[in-house]
Structures are given as C-alpha cells and as structure tokens.
Amino acid sequence: MQAFALTLDKFLDHAAKWQPDGQVVTAREGGRIDRVGYADLRDRSLRVSSVLAGLGVRKGDRVATLAWNTQDHVEVWYAIMGMGAVCHTLNPRLTAEQLAAMIVQSQAQLLIASADLAPLARKIMDAAPGVERLLVIDGEASEGQALEPLIAAASPDAIWGQFEETAPSGLCFTSGTTGAPKGVTYTHRSSYLHTLRALQVDVMAISSADAVLAVVPMFHANAWGLPFAAPAVGAKLVLPGRNADGASLSRLIAAEGVTVGVGVPTVWLGLVEHLETTGERLPSLKRIMVGGAPMPPALMERIEQGLGVTVQTSWGMTELSPSGTVAPLHAPSQAALSGRPAVGVDLLLTDADGVALPRQRDAEGHLRVRGAAVVERYFGQETSATDADGWFPTGDLARIDAAGNLMITGRAKDLIKSGGEWINPAEIEAVVASLPEVSLAAVIGRSDPKWGERPILLVETQGEVTDEALLASLQGRVATWWIPDAVYRLPRMPLASTGKIDKIRLRAEYGGG
C-alpha cells in the first residue's frame, strides 16, 4: 500500500478539491455574517503558514491561540497544524494568571488572539514573558499586530504535511472543574482517526447535506472534532463567534438552515427559553448533540418538544479527544444513557483498585478507557496516565447496560463520605433534575462536625416548587440518609468555562459548613 500519513491538513486539502464551495460561516458582532468556501479558506490558511514561518515558527513549536469559534480561528488552526507546529488553545474564560501558567508550561513564544481578547492576551504576556509576539485576528488590533495585512502579502506556497503522522498537532488543558488542569497533547494520527470514528452513522453521522452549528468551543477539546469532520465531508460549518445566547443562536440557525447543533446542555436551555418567550420556530434544525455534562431528563424532553428535534446524548473527556460514546440516532432517547463506543475506543469497569469487574454489564464500577485517541500521559509528565494494560482511569463511576449503553453514575472525586459511608451525588442530582420545575441541580458535601460531610442540594428552578417537594422526590429513590440536609436556590447555577456546573466554586462557597 502507498505511504499516506494521517495528517490533519489532508481534510482541508480534500474539501478544497472536492467541495470547494462548501462554506465556513461566521456570525460577527452587529449581525454581520462572513462566509468563505473551503478552497479559499485553504488558500488563506497556507498564507498564514507562510506568515508563521517568516516569524520563525518551526515544526514542533507551540503556537497559542486565544480566540472564539470563527473562520479566522479555523484558518489559524490549519496553518499551525499543517506546517507541523502545535496549536495550544487557550480558554478565554479563565484568568490571565491561569492562562499564563499554561503558556509557561507549553513554552509558546507566539500568541494569536481575537481582537476583543487582545487586552487579556497582553495581561497573559505580562505574566508569561516567554511570549514574544502577539498577532490579532477577528478585527482591528488595539494590541499587538494585525494578522490580516500579513496574510494579504504572504505566499500561498507553504508546504503542509511533511512530517510523521505521530507528530503532535494540538495541546489542550483539561477544564479543571474537579482539580488542577493538565495538558493533553493530540497527535495528527489520533485526531485523524477520531474524525473517521466521529463521522460514522452511529456517531455524529454528518454529511455534505448538513449545516453544522459548532457551539462547542474551539478552545476546548478540538470543538469535539467538528473543524476536522465538517471539511472532511464538505458540510457547512457554522460558527457563532463569541455569542452563544439563545437569541443569537436562533437567528443564526434560521439564517443558515442549520440541521445539526452541537453543544453542552446549558446552551440549548438558553435557546429553548428564547423560543418559549418569542414563539419562534426553527424548522431546519433536526438534531442536537449534547455532552460535557449530564442532561437532565426534564430539559431533554423540553428541548425535544420545544424544538422538534432528536437529542443525541454523548460522553467524552479532553483526554479522549474528546469523544467516548454517542447514542445512535435510531435508539430511543434516554437522558441517562450516553450511548455505545464506536470502533477505536474500548471501555472497562473496575473496582476502586483497578481490578476488572467479573461482570461488565449491569454492574457499577470505575470507568477506564483505551483507544487510538486516548491520552497515554499528560503534557510534560514522564509518568504514564494509564495502567500496565493501557487503560486510562477516567475518574467516572459508570454502568454499562445489557445493550452496551454507558451510563455515567457519578465522579469518584464527587463522592461524599458521611459517617464512613459513601453517598453518590449524581444519583441524587438525576432524581431532582427530572422534576419539570428544575433546570439544573447539584449536590455537594458540606463539612459536618458529627458525620464529616453531609450532602446539600443546590438548584436553579424554572417554576414554583417547594423545598419539601424537592426533597420528597428522593423518598424511596435513594437511601434516607442520602437525602440532603439543606436546599439552596440559585438564580443562576455557576458554570465552568466549558458549560459544566462548577463544583469547585460551589464547594468553596457552600461546602465549608
């Protein structure tokens, strides 16, 4: 067989040749829409590679980006990865100090930022003196140097893909909702294989007829691989920029005929609330993929009925590139189930010591995973993150039903030890979140002088419901001593930068007793 390195530049090369008019669409401030065909996007990305090479970027160098989901960011992605450098995506919802600590680890010397994030970029550079240059995209540069004039003057003759498929392509730090962020290095091969898996019929099932709205951020876990998957099949890729509120998403979906939306549950909650207020309809939208956080059953029903769509649940992690399991389209919708793994990723349930459970179906255990797009060790660490057989411990508690569907039942780190016995917050949250009056629910442990810890319930509601009714819903569903000692009502549940409930913040504010 021919030597054919599985490098990510080939996706854009393919799109430019066979789907040259397939579009990448970006929503800009003020309602403006920018669009570019795949052939022109490839030309611009090659020019960006020439610019970077002229600034001294070489194979293996880390180049940091601090940007929203836009055409400019996609161009920069392919430019960096295509020339063999490593794209280190930074989450703009973190602090300058947190981001600077990540850049110090990656040793990036060049930072590319969206114009409205340039002041944050400058603060990062002040705290990370190794960053020598700031290039600005997505608007006029108030700090640093605008990239657009450099693109116009650059050559499109840059060479892509002259390196091994095992070369690193991206670097992303974990979200840190339960602990300190750690860097995960993606390779061209891992992300290429992840893309092929994502495109399968029982996974994302994206085709050239689709218009895919990527609300999942490009700065976290490769935007679930959508900037690779969409050009791979010539689908329209629709990018919301920085605006992911319900009104903005509704306008964009309607204007671009979006058929598939991908994002965390809280995003779709905002869209549903907007549509319920305005009475608008979005007939083009057929399917929504959710992940990143558990989907409350009441919210899932609300989305499916309010939007007239099918909701596909999924489970993944930054360390999995990020897709682990996805519910097939033909399967009945169930909020608690996260689907089955596709070929290329495997699951294992173990006890707390990492010993495989004798029965892998209909038993709860600690979830481990391995595959071609699963982390082997974290960035900058010599010690492997996997066991001797290559299984990566996810930190999740899970069940696998008789049909092979995964159900995440909790996080090992979230377990509450009360009087020497364990309480699983996820089981309590699932019951409370099933109430139609509850939008979001979280359970954390609060310090207790007698029991060590006791559970408390924090809720964001959308209707009238008493504390007594919230707690009564747990009667007969969980052990009586699991029932939370107190209920706290929050006008808005605090969310981490990736849309997950921020339990670190909740513990800091409510867990001290």
**Active site members:** 174, 319, 417, 422
CB 418 within 8 A of CB 469: no
Instruction: With CA atoms as reference, report the closest residue to 227 among 99, 345, 89.
Output: 89
CB 174 within 8 A of CB 182: yes
Instruction: With CA atoms as reference, report the closest residue to 171 among 122, 220, 215, 136.
Output: 220
User: One-letter amino acid identity for 129?
Assistant: P
> Beta strands of 99-203 (E only): which ranges?
110-114, 133-137, 145-146, 168-173, 183-187
CB 65 within 8 A of CB 113: yes
Backbone angles phi, psi at 413, to 5 degrees: -70, -20
Across 454-490, b (16+ Cβ under 10 Å) vs e yields bbbbbbbbbeebeeeebbebbeeebeeebbbeeebee
Element (H, E) at 118: helix 118-127
Backbone angles phi, psi at 358, to 5 degrees: -65, -30
Spatial distance between the Cα atoms of 490 and 512, rounded to a whole number of angstroms: 17
Residues for the chain: how many in total? 513
- Interhelix angle 297-307/425-433, rounded to 10 degrees, is 40
Spatial distance between the Cα atoms of 73 and 138, rounded to a whole number of angstroms: 8
**What is the token pair recorded at 103?**
């850049």
Across 101-128, b (16+ Cβ under 10 Å) vs e yields bbbebbebbbbbbbbbbbebbbbbbebb
